[in-house]
């Protein structure tokens, strides 16, 4: 009796501790090499490093994350067997303007690697936003510029810190710099709607001094009325009637630590302070065998270049992953608004700038949703119908980088499709102008759109690069490009002028695999296992099908374009190297450019029948609209990884009614 009671109590406690507001079956967690660092491991790693003899007195932690073991170690891991456990740290000694990388062996409790990385700048630290704010407010030049604009109550100003790009200030070459923009906040929720235009301060973060204040044309601060909170938006429409998301029998997935299993899919996930949500070891159960599809996937980099010609704007191009870290800037998902009622949530552990661990609650969301019709055929001759309703599994997170909010979702479909969706919302970065009405002939409005009186949203683009380490039925893969074209009409190949063909080209080397989308050719890319064939004779493969995309409009000579070489192509393929993780390189902050994909592919390594990584650049050209002000309705874009010859028939044929 006591034993049964104990089991009941333990079961109840495990359910309470589950990060969820849904009824979700779970199984016991066994440690795995790809588990993210726990609070205790972060605390141990940073304590060991702070006690290390070479650790600088003013050292701060720009990054603390799992140092992932090798792919071979992970793929050969067996539950219950001891495994390597290491932490990777990036440390900055700001007064000395020096960056270090360290590796800590968590099993042996010692620092195994410590090295200085010359001429690089880590991402902006969380504390640096506050430091910039305080330093700029006390600067007499900035105060004078405010008074010139009729602003004397500096407490009503919001200062927004930005990475400076690779722009230098004479006499401060190589220094760690930040820019400061100013907004008239007063009591507003949306301070972005009232920019103090024509004023930028540049701060030397090594010496904690404002080294330059740029004060150009003085423009009036846009009027109040840019609010988006419910209390001040005005009369609200009649609310919709309740829509209930319920799973009375619980969710259809199971959780084993950080592994999820659902409808033949099984995969792992983690949350990284730089990349945000990361997928690992994605496989699909085909019969009695789980076949590998993808080893690791994440958002590798994102750049947002602005198209305004004004010198106060032309430098703006935020590298949201490499300069700021979308993981650490993520927020807690709010139940019932950021997520449906049946969502489950997972926390994430981070280290702050001092290396102290903390937990972000509800960092990741997981839920099932209706997916519309999965497949259907109604037979007209017998009046019978075979139709199936689809279910989808969504794993996602949302991050806020200044004015913009981004959500990245990985959506698993029952037919073997893995969809990646990017959500863009938040507040467009505004520019203060004198115009109150749109005039398309006005010089000031040529590179932007008036979205409110005296507020222009400059034209801009978003480029998101996803690193996709596909392992289709193993690590030996090849990349195939598929082009569709019509054969010349009136020939033996196309006598009736209706024939079109699909050519498949296998890439030999990395430079050949630098590719762009072609609407004319309906271009697609496929990663195949060239060493096996299905019963139908195909090499098993997964195809990348692009959605919305764009070409870059900021020119190759622009300083941000030099740092964002990954935008030159929509698709890249590289030979797998564990250190090649970020499309713009490890340290894009103040980088002169040339790092990342352009550098890695210059040697043209062979990628045929090899362990390869596919990189996809998703481009969105944002044409601002008044309907997107003062807050944007969600704009979604993405792509799909679709089985192509991977199965011998529709893998969702076994889904019942």
Number of residues in the chain: 657
My answer on whether 207 and 65 are in the same domain is no
Q: Cα 241–245–246 angle (5° rounding)?
A: 130
323 and 280 in a single domain? The answer is yes
Same domain, 485 and 395: yes
Same domain, 66 and 176: no
The DSSP string of 60-93 is EEEEEEE-PPPHHHHHT--TTS----EEEEEEEE
Strand partners, 66: 87
Neighbours of 495 (CB within 10 A): 11
Based on the domain organization, do 154 and 285 belong to the same domain? no
Residue 228 domain-assigned (yes or no) = no
On whether the CB atoms of residues 220 and 434 are closer than 8 A, the answer is yes
C-alpha of 258 from chain center: 20
- Is 363 within a domain? yes
Query: Per the domain annotation, does 241 fall within a domain?
Result: no
From residue 4, alpha-carbon distances to 1, 9, 26 in Å are: 5, 9, 19
Which DSSP letter does residue 222 get?
Answer: P
Asked whether residue 335 is domain-assigned, the answer is yes
Determine, yes or no, domain membership for 247. Answer: no
Identify the domain containing residue 350 by its residue range: 264-308+316-439+461-643
Asked if residues 418 and 640 have their Cβ atoms less than 8 Å apart, the reply is yes
Show the tokens assigned to 608: 């045929």
Residues 55 and 202 in one domain: no
Q: Does residue 227 lie within any of the structural domains?
A: no
- CA pair distance 398, 501, nearest whole angstrom: 42
Question: 308, 320, 338, 529: which one is catalytic?
Answer: 320
Predicted local confidence at residue 113, as pLDDT: 98
416 Ramachandran zone, left/alpha/beta (phi>0; psi -120 to 50)? left
Q: Are residues 196 and 344 in the same domain?
A: no
Decide if 306 is catalytic. no
Q: What is the pLDDT of residue 15?
A: 36
Domain boundary among 59, 93, 117: 117
179 bridge partner residues: 162, 202
On whether residue 238 sits in a domain, the answer given is no
Q: Which of 100, 117, 134 is the C-terminal boundary of a domain?
A: 117
Do 253 and 393 contact (CB within 8 A), yes or no?
yes
In which element (H, E) is residue 256 found? Answer: strand 254-256
The verdict on 639 and 520 lying in the same domain is: yes
- Report d(CA 517, CA 506) in Å as an integer: 17
Residue 194 sits in a domain whose CATH number is: 3.10.450.40
Contacts of 334 (CB under 8 A, 6+ apart): 362
pLDDT at 23: 46
| Same-domain status, 338 and 282 | yes
Q: Domain count of the chain?
A: 3
388 lies in the same domain as 507: yes
Q: In sequence order, what DSSP letters do the residues of 512-574 get, joined into one string?
A: TT-B---TTTT-EEEEE-TT---TTSPPPEEEEEE-S-----S-TTSHHHHH-GGGG-SEEEE
Chain centroid, CA 158 distance in Å: 27
Asked which of 117, 141, 165 is the last residue of a domain, the reply is 117
Active site residue 310: no
Tell me how far CA of residue 246 lies from CA of 242, 342, 369, in angstroms: 12, 6, 10
Same domain, 326 and 363: yes
Residue 305 bridge partners (DSSP): 317
Q: Which residues of the chain are modeled with pLDDT < 70?
A: 1-28, 440-444
Q: Are residues 94 and 133 in the same domain?
A: no
pLDDT per residue as tens digits for the range 343-401: 999 999 999 999 999 999 999 999 999 999 999 999 999 999 999 999 999 999 999 99
Q: Which is the catalytic residue, given 183, 184, 404, 616?
A: 404
In a domain, 132, yes or no: yes
């Amino acid at each position: 009796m006591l034993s049964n009671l104990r089991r009941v109590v333990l079961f109840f406690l495990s359910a309470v501790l589950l990060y969820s507001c849904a009824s979700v079956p779970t199984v016991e967690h066994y440690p795995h090499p790809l588990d993210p660092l726990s609070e205790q491991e972060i605390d141990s790693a940073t304590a060991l490093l702070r006690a290390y003899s070479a650790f600088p007195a003013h050292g701060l932690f720009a990054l603390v994350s799992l140092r992932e073991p090798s792919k071979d170690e992970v793929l050969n891991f067996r539950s219950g067997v001891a495994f390597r456990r290491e932490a990777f740290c990036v440390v900055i000694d700001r007064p000395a303007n020096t960056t270090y990388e360290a590796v800590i062996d968590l099993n042996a409790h010692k620092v195994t690697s410590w090295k200085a990385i010359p001429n690089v700048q880590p991402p902006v630290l969380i504390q640096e936003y506050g430091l910039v704010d305080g330093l700029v407010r006390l600067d007499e030049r900035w105060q004078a510029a405010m008074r010139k604009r009729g602003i004397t109550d500096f407490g009503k100003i919001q200062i927004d810190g930005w990475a400076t790009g690779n722009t230098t200030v004479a006499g401060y070459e190589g220094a760690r710099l930040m820019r400061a923009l100013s907004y008239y906040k007063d009591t507003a929720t949306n301070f972005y709607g009232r920019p103090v235009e024509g004023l930028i301060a540049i701060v030397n973060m090594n010496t904690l001094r404002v080294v330059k204040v740029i004060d150009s044309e003085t423009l009036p601060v846009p009027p109040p009325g840019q609010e988006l909170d419910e209390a001040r938006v005005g009369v609200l429409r009649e609310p919709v009637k309740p829509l209930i998301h319920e799973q009375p029998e619980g969710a259809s997935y199971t959780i084993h630590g950080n592994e999820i299993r659902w409808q033949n899919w099984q995969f792992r996930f983690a949350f990284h302070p730089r990349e945000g949500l990361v997928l690992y070891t994605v496989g699909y159960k085909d019969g009695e065998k789980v076949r590998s599809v993808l080893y690791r996937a994440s958002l590798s980099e994102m750049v947002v270049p602005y198209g305004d010609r004004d010198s106060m704007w032309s430098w703006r191009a935020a590298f949201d992953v490499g300069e700021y870290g979308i993981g650490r800037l993520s927020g807690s998902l709010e139940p019932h608004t950021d997520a449906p009622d049946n969502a489950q949530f997972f926390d994430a552990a981070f280290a702050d700038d001092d290396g102290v661990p903390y937990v972000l609650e509800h960092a990741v969301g997981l839920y099932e949703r209706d997916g519309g019709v999965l497949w259907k055929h109604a037979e007209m001759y017998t009046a019978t119908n075979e139709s199936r309703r689809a279910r989808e599994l969504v794993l996602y997170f949302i991050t806020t980088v200044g004015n913009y909010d981004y959500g990245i979702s990985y959506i698993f479909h029952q037919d073997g499709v893995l969809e990646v969706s990017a959500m863009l919302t938040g507040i467009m970065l505004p520019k203060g102008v004198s115009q109150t009405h749109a005039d398309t002939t006005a010089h000031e409005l040529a590179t932007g759109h008036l979205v409110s009186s005296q507020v222009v949203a400059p034209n801009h683009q978003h480029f998101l690069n996803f690193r996709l380490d596909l392992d289709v039925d193993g690590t030996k893969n090849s990349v195939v490009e598929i082009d569709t074209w019509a054969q010349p009409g009136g020939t033996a190949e196309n006598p009736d002028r209706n024939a079109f063909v699909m050519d498949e080209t296998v890439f030999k080397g990395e430079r050949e695999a630098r590719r762009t989308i072609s609407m004319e050719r309906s271009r697609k890319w496929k990663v195949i296992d060239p060493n096996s064939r299905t019963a139908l004779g195909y090499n098993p493969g997964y195809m990348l099908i692009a959605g919305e995309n764009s070409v870059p409009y900021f020119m190759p000579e622009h300083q941000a374009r030099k740092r964002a070489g990954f935008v030159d192509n929509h698709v890249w393929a590289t030979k797998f190297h564990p250190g090649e993780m970020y499309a713009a390189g490890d340290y894009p902050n103040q980088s002169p450019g040339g790092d990342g994909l352009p550098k890695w592919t210059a040697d043209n390594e062979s990628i045929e029948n090899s362990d390869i990584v596919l990189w996809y650049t998703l481009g969105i050209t944002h044409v601002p609209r008044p309907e997107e002000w003062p807050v944007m309705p969600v704009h979604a874009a993405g792509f799909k990884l679709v089985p192509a010859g991977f199965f011998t028939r529709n893998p969702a044929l076994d889904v019942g009614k």
